[in-house]
Amino acid sequence: MARLRCAFVLALLLTQLAGDAFAGRGHGHHGPAAHDYRDALAKSILFFEGQRSGKLPPSQRIHCTFAFAFALWRSLTECVRPWQVDLVGGYHDAGDNVKFGFPMAFSMTMLAWSVVEFGGLMKGELQHAREAVRWGADYLLKATAHPDTIYVQASSYFAFFVGDATKDHACWERPEDMDTPRTVYKVDPTTPGSDVAAETAAALAASSLVFRKSDPAYASRLLARAKRVFDFADRHRGAYSTGLAADVCPYYCSYSGYQDELLWGAAWLHRATKSPTYLTYIQTNGQVLGADESDNTFGWDNKHAGARILIAKSFLVQRVASLHEYKSHADAFVCSMVPGTPTDSTQFTPGGLLFKLSDSNMQYVTSSAFLLLTYAKYLAFSRQTVSCGGGGHVVTAQRLRAVARRQVDYLLGSNPMGMSYMVGYGARYPRRIHHRASSLPSVAAHPGRIGCSQGFTALYAGGANPNVLVGAVVGGPDVQDKFPDQRNDHEHSEPATYINAPLVGALAYLAHSYGQL
């Protein structure tokens, strides 16, 4: 069992990246903060520890200063024959017991991006954020490593999915009691998966930037693997849910195709390497891969908007003139997101929440808020603004920050329900989240095994979950700002790593800008 450590390390850290310094100067807000963003930041990172799979480290925490505590101890052995691939570790993406590689990789890309952009503002939480990135990156290294190194380098074996999702979802049981098949699915040259492979390359490349200064050897290893996995994704093109539809759909089908991930992966490799190889790739393939599409939905499946913002940085900050069109693409995304612009096309609830889809809508709220804050950073650094449509409608970095802050504030409780959608934050938050480990009694409270079907009693019970998963952000309210807080309502009550990952960066910025860090 992991030792419990109940302290946060408070350390003064220098800002890390060019441009981080500007985020801490002259951009504070007047008046009191609407929320305790520092507290929310700490909890949003702590959530990832509750989603860990495998043998937990001595640094595993419960948060003793909080009124609620949550921790899981999982010792799962996943060694897959005939390859003998070690797949212990990683994260459960949401409230089930499967490790889905596609959303896990996206979560790690976004968590790493949060640290890359705003880690210099996190102070005492930076080390916890790095540990969360490393836990996921370590797993992705395992998932892309075959014991036959010649085979790995030649065809880049990639295991992306651990567990039979259909059979897992037919059970409601604790991770410690899990007895469903730990089937491993893979993509390879005969069953390509450019989307999941390129997303993994993006996660590895982004993670390498997190450790470039603190652990150069580890960063080099991550980057080398990112290059190899991206090469595989590009050479063997195809969507992973084409050949494996029966196994990955409807859970994480690649609805947007694989083109956006190839552009996204190339963008991260360009940022991590500064190599002209990836710049040329973007210039040559950008249009074909959909760089100029107007889609403004950004999440685990569709990376177009994120890729446009990321590549626009190269033009705005690094002055790579050949990428000027991406500033226009990024501007179009921003204009579609800011209420009141001539090209505003985003739906909001009556209470002001960005609304994309009824199923786990909060993931789009957090990812969009992060993109707006990040683009505001790039704009401020380059002293530029955004022109939206005719009539001289100009959107400033300050305006983008205000839009993003409104979304985060809604999430934390400034909404018609008076409900914080982060578990453990505020006086009122979801008590019956759709999460197996949270809803079933802990091993300490109930040492006996809880069987597959036996656990469904807890799913449909009316009481609060016995284990409070601190920091978990659920799918959120419906289009009318209503939230029933029902455990069997997975669309609104299920948390996920890809909801929290971009929120970490947004909260770090807000906590710093209000002087809470």
Spatial distance between the Cα atoms of 241 and 97, rounded to a whole number of angstroms = 20
**Sign, CA torsion 505/506/508/512:** positive
Is 38 in a helix, a strand, or coil? Answer: helix
CA atoms within 13 A on the CB side of 467: 24
Is 85 in a helix, a strand, or coil? Answer: strand
**Amino acid identity for residue 410 in this structure:** Y
DSSP secondary structure letter of residue 422: B
Structure-token pair, residue 58? 């001595």
Angle, alpha carbons 500-505-509 (nearest 5°): 135
What are the angstrom distances between the C-alpha of 123 and each of 8, 127, 260, 396? 10, 8, 34, 28
Q: Answer for the pair 218, 211: CB distance below 8 angstroms, yes or no.
A: yes
Greatest alpha-carbon pair distance for the chain in Å reads 68
Query: Where do the H-state alpha helices sit in 211-258?
Result: 216-235, 240-243, 245-248
User: Helix axis angle, 397-412 relative to 497-513, nearest 10°?
Assistant: 120
Spatial distance between the Cα atoms of 23 and 404, rounded to a whole number of angstroms = 15
Spatial distance between the Cα atoms of 212 and 219, rounded to a whole number of angstroms = 5
Identify the helix (H) or strand (E) that includes residue 187: strand 184-187
Structure-token pair, residue 433? 């989240």
Identify the helix (H) or strand (E) that includes residue 86: strand 85-86
Question: Which neighbouring-strand residues pair with 473?
Answer: 422
Assess whether the previous peptide bond of 250 is cis (omega < 30° from 0).
yes
Spatial distance between the Cα atoms of 219 and 258, rounded to a whole number of angstroms = 26
What single string gives the DSSP state of each residue in 91-108?
Answer: B--SSSS-EEHHHHHHHH
Which position among 35, 304, 329, 434 bears the catalytic label? Answer: 434
DSSP secondary structure letter of residue 465: P
Q: Is 435 a catalytic residue?
A: no
Q: Catalytic residue numbers?
A: 434
